Amino acid sequence: MIIFMCGIIGFTGNKPVKNILINGLEQLEYRGYDSAGIAVLDENGINIRKRTGKVAQLREAAMDLNEEAYCGIGHTRWATHGGVTNVNAHPHKSGRVVLIHNGIIENYRELITEYGLKNKLVSETDTEVVAALLDTLYSGDPIKTIRKAVDLISGSFALCIMFEDHPGIIYAVRNVSPMVAASFDGSSIIASDITAIIPYTKRYFVVPEYHILTIDKGSIKCEDLNGNTVEPEILEVNWDISSAQKGGYPYFMLKEIYEQPDALDRTVRPRVENGLPYLEEDGISDSLFKGIKNITVIACGTAMHAGMVGKYVFENKLRIPVNVEIASEFRYKDPIIDKDTLTIVLSQSGETIDTLEALRLAKRKGSPVLSIVNVKGSTIARESDYVLYTHAGPEIAVASTKAYTVQIAAMYLIACRFGLVKGIMSEEEAREFISKLENVRTLIEETLKSANTIKMVANRIMISPDVFYIGRGIDYTLSLEASLKLKEISYIHSEAYAAGELKHGTIALISENVPVIAIATEKNVYSKVISNVKEVKSRGAYVVLVSHDDKIDDTSICDMQIRLPEADSTFSVFATAVVLQLIAYYTSDAKGLDVDKPRNLAKSVTVE
């Protein structure tokens, strides 16, 4: 399995390029952080610096680089294809060509053989093969050469290319792997996402697939593979650079946890009219819901966990069957869906390749696709029939937090509108539902006051090799997400169990001092969860109870308690999520780890 997700940036214009590239790479570091490199191009040729480690190390290595170069490309790498070495880091140069790449070249072996490239290669990467291929094909006309190469390579790619004899110009082309570009004040910029562009301009466009960009100072030409000029649609970012900075918080993750009340407001309030959900402005008309008999939710990881919460509401409140599917499984199935199934796709980035491929399959099966996406203009958004954008703002920490809660809120808005259209929910019930949804901000703010208690829990569990989360119903779905969050940023082994399932095997793992975090917000199963808690407590577990209870002094129930503000469990999920996110955050921080950049992970998973 080849995994390759990287940050890329290119700049040409009227400012020295070195620091623009390095600063941009710092913004993009969350996409990959094994190694980083830049190449600058001026009349004297191409100069490259690359280093394993963080961008800070590259900054050092680039100290001696020409400050007077005005055109260049840069890359942060996250790779398992070819070890983490200076040689394998990008940019890769072959003859007159230098390039950076995000994606996978699937037929690189065939290309090496067919075009006799072996002697040109010094690294173990598929990327260098493209550089060698371009140099072999190069006739002095970059566009013609790129066209030929694109015809020969298969796989996913976002490529930024410079030719030594064309100073001041960057060429770019992509398939699947995302890229956005913009021109402003005599300069032009291209990057794998808008966080690197936003310090310069809010207006950008998504690079169309299989189109070649000629990026010159202050102008960008976009043409299809037949040479026809195309004018891409200009989009505008609705957040500013401060949203992509830490703003005084030690880590983005903590900032993003605290941003949740605002993110929820921005996602919910514009979609409420007279106390009822209103989705027409998003292009989602009631007719979409009329013939729908069931729902399939497709997503990966945290987004899928948000889908599970949505399922709970659809099924319990509306009695509409919902199937939640792991995108990477769904895409290789022959799924039982048709035009009567509404497919809801959840994705923060809008670029997750498994989710995208699953979406395409659902469409081929005739199912209308409504996606819930955070990144405007992303591939998933563009390929869906309907889009409900979440307005979380940029999520930089690799571990998803605010994107998860806004995805749940978006699912709730859809469920409520759906219920109204189908006559399953009365206007009065819908008004009450929406008013509770609008009030979750208060629940979260109240919960954030428990940060110190949560820190104490984190200090206790940071020394444990294993942590278990248990809950029933909606709390079980939260346990799954809590467990994922903890393991991905603290590297502590963790599992989530439906509380009633423990006694069917897993309870054998419970021994003296093993932490069990029990979530008990559902009234109808509360006493059942408490019975399960007592089962683990009597076997020596260290129990943390997350519930609405008043203070519990009974040590036969729990060792620590985190109290949630009183609310119906459907709406408590937002507050509970915050508690669980903070447990993971403080545990990782207490262990001295880099919370925002956990090992082996990258923010946007653009390969399968």
Residue span binding ligand F6R (CB under 6 A) among the ranges 55-63, 154-162, 346-354, 414-422? 346-354
Tokens read off for 425: 């929910």
Report the residue number, 542 or 585, with the smaller CB distance to ligand F6R.
585
Report the residue number, 306 or 499, with the smaller CB distance to ligand F6R.
306
Closest CA to 26 of 38, 14, 12: 38
Q: Judged by CB under 6 A, does residue 392 bind ligand F6R?
A: no
For the bound state, the minimum distance from the C-beta of residue 483 to ligand F6R, rounded and expressed in Å, comes to 11
Report the residue number, 105 or 577, with the smaller CB distance to ligand F6R.
577
Cα distance between residue 576 and residue 253, in whole Å: 17
Alpha-carbon distance values, 113 to 93, 107, 109, 117, 118 (Å)? 19, 10, 6, 7, 7
Q: Which of 82, 142, 301, 473 binds ligand F6R (CB under 6 A)?
A: 301
Report the residue number, 74 or 301, with the smaller CB distance to ligand F6R.
301
Considering CB under 6 A, how many residues would be counted as binding ligand F6R?
Answer: 15
Place of tokens 């390095």: 22
Place of tokens 């015809």: 151
Closest CA to 456 of 496, 540, 515, 530: 515
For the bound state, the minimum distance from the C-beta of residue 429 to ligand F6R, rounded and expressed in Å, comes to 30
Q: Judged by CB under 6 A, does residue 490 bind ligand F6R?
A: no
Q: Judged by CB under 6 A, does residue 46 bind ligand F6R?
A: no
Contact 323, 294 (CB under 8 A): yes
Strand order in the sheet with 45-52: 45-52, 35-42, 71-77, 7-12, 187-191, 180-184, 203-206, 235-236
Q: Judged by CB under 6 A, does residue 605 bind ligand F6R?
A: yes
Q: Judged by CB under 6 A, does residue 76 bind ligand F6R?
A: no
Q: Which of 6, 244, 288, 399 binds ligand F6R (CB under 6 A)?
A: 399
For the bound state, the minimum distance from the C-beta of residue 347 to ligand F6R, rounded and expressed in Å, comes to 3
Q: Which of 303, 413, 457, 533 binds ligand F6R (CB under 6 A)?
A: 303
Provide the strand spans (E) within 527-586.
542-547, 560-563
Contact 256, 401 (CB under 8 A): yes
For the bound state, the minimum distance from the C-beta of residue 435 to ligand F6R, rounded and expressed in Å, comes to 28
Alpha-carbon distance values, 536 to 53, 427, 543 (Å)? 43, 44, 8
Q: Which of 488, 522, 589, 596 binds ligand F6R (CB under 6 A)?
A: 488
Cα distance between residue 298 and residue 331, in whole Å: 10
Q: Judged by CB under 6 A, does residue 302 bind ligand F6R?
A: yes
Show the binding pattern over residues 260-289: x = contacts ligand F6R (CB under 6 A), - = does not. ------------------------------
Q: Which of 214, 260, 296, 347 binds ligand F6R (CB under 6 A)?
A: 347
Confirm whether 363 is a catalytic residue.
no
Q: Judged by CB under 6 A, does residue 494 bind ligand F6R?
A: no
Q: Judged by CB under 6 A, does residue 355 bind ligand F6R?
A: yes
Q: Which is the catalytic residue, given 6, 71, 222, 300?
A: 6
Say which residues have a Cβ less than 8 Å from residue 348's Cβ, sequence separation at least 6: 302, 303, 373, 374, 375, 390, 392, 395, 400, 403, 407
Report the residue number, 35 or 588, with the smaller CB distance to ligand F6R.
588
For the bound state, the minimum distance from the C-beta of residue 349 to ligand F6R, rounded and expressed in Å, comes to 3
Report the residue number, 55 or 300, with the smaller CB distance to ligand F6R.
300
Report the residue number, 183 or 302, with the smaller CB distance to ligand F6R.
302
Say which residues have a Cβ less than 8 Å from residue 14's Cβ, sequence separation at least 6: 70, 185, 186, 187, 217, 218
Q: Residue 530, SS3?
A: helix
Residue span binding ligand F6R (CB under 6 A) among the ranges 130-138, 260-268, 343-351, 572-580? 343-351
Residue span binding ligand F6R (CB under 6 A) among the ranges 42-50, 294-302, 427-435, 510-518? 294-302
36 strand-pairing partners: 51, 76
Confirm whether 591 is a catalytic residue.
no
Cis status, amide bond into 270, omega within 30 of 0: no
Q: Judged by CB under 6 A, does residue 406 bind ligand F6R?
A: no
Q: Residue 77, SS3?
A: strand
CB atoms < 10 A from the CB of 292, how many? 17
Give the end-to-end CA distance of the chain in Å, rounded to a whole number: 8
Q: Judged by CB under 6 A, does residue 349 bind ligand F6R?
A: yes
Report the residue number, 344 or 399, with the smaller CB distance to ligand F6R.
399
Tokens read off for 245: 């900075």
Report the residue number, 123 or 347, with the smaller CB distance to ligand F6R.
347
Q: Judged by CB under 6 A, does residue 47 bind ligand F6R?
A: no
Q: What are phi and psi of 515, to 5 degrees?
A: -70, 130
Q: Which is the catalytic residue, given 311, 376, 597, 603?
A: 603
For the bound state, the minimum distance from the C-beta of residue 36 to ligand F6R, rounded and expressed in Å, comes to 22
Residues labelled as active-site residues: 6, 603
State the residues that interact with ligand F6R by CB under 6 A. 300-303, 347-349, 352, 355, 399-400, 484, 488, 604-605
